[in-house]
Amino acid sequence: LWIGSAFAFGTVRRSVERAADDSARRRTALATYPALLGWLRWGAALTWMLGFVLLFLVYYRAPLLLDVAELDPNELQRLLQPDGRPSPRAWIPGFLALIGSFPLYELCARFLRGPRLWPLALVLWSTIAVGTSCLLEHSAGFTQRAVFIHIATYLATAMAANVWMRIWPAERRALLAWSAGQPADAIDLAVSRERQRHNAAMAFSVVLLMLSTHHPALYSGTPWAWPWVASVALALGLLLGELASRLSDRFSVE
């Protein structure tokens, strides 16, 4: 629902940008943006909240989080509660990285701003898919399945925060300007357009990473599996995100 509404909004936004004059652009935006932005915002919020609840129940409160076969028995005793569930000490590293995922993305997005997505994607892959994953698997003792789901969660968190903290405020200011009969700020429109491109690329990566947890052959008994899976998800995310953007341009209403 959230991803679908995001692509629907992107298509409508391109139609608005291609309108013949400011008057037509303003009318189309005022007629379509409020409902689409509502679906976009609340879809992002609901999806993220449900995902966090599932992360907590399936991993932080269940034995899927830690690789018990690889951990030292003394360390394992420290990380597990008497009933066998992970203690807060076990999942806090993953949770802290979750909190830092959007600030990290925001820092990269600000310093790597430009028409091409691959520099930003490469840095995010290096920091999230490599750095954080090394920390979680080799320092915190997470299973590779847990590592996959955490990479997807970090990207999804950046996407949801993007909607609420960058895309929605920029589009809201544009709507207020159009309602007052004034032109929208070009910087706001550029920021919204850029962040929607980022979200489109990350969306496919998130879906692919989450689906990977349902295929044990990808992570069972395969050392260093997550760099390969993350790399494939990154490449396909960039490719499919760019393809979706081009299709949205093609099918937008003139």
Tell me the mean pLDDT per 10 residues along the chain, length 254.
67 66 72 81 90 91 80 81 85 88 84 67 68 76 83 88 91 86 84 83 78 64 60 64 58 46
For residue 195, what pLDDT is reported? 86
Q: CB count, 10 Å around CB of 250?
A: 9
* pLDDT, position 32: 76
- At residue 140, φ and ψ (nearest 5 deg) are -95, -10
**pLDDT for residue 169:** 92
3-class SS at 116?
Answer: coil
Query: Cβ-count burial of 57 within 10 angstroms (0-12 exposed, 13-18 middle, 19+ buried)?
Result: exposed
Closest CA to 43 of 156, 160, 182: 160
46 sits in the region (left: phi over 0; alpha: psi -120 to 50; else beta) called alpha
Q: Which pLDDT value is given to residue 109?
A: 81
Look at residue 115 in the predicted model and tell me its pLDDT. Answer: 64
Torsion over CA: 61, 64, 65, 68 (sign): positive
Dihedral angle over CA of 174, 180, 186, 188, nearest 10: -30
pLDDT at 227: 62
- How far apart (Å, rounded) are the C-alpha atoms in residues 161 and 33? 19
Phi, psi of 215, deg, nearest 5: -125, 90
Tell me the three state secondary structure of residue 241: helix
For residue 168, the enclosing domain spans: 2-251
Its pTM stands at: 0.80
Report the pLDDT value the prediction gives residue 53, as an integer from 0 to 100.
Answer: 93
Burial class (CB in 10 A: 0-12, 13-18, 19+), 71: middle
Give dist(CA 118, CA 124) in Å, integer: 10
Per residue in 160-179, pLDDT (tens digit) is 999 999 988 988 898 888 88
How far, in Å, CA of 247 to CA of 122, rounded?
24
Most distant CA atoms of the chain, gap in Å:
70
Question: What's the structural domain count of the chain?
Answer: 1
Residue 217 sits at φ, ψ, to 5 deg, of -60, -20
**Whole-angstrom Cα distance, residue 254 to residue 25?**
11
- Over residues 66-119, the pLDDT tens digits come to 877 777 788 878 888 888 888 888 888 889 888 888 888 888 888 777 666 656
Cβ neighbours of residue 102 under 8 Å, at least 6 residues apart? 157, 158, 161, 162, 165
Helix (H) or strand (E) holding 195, with range, is helix 186-212
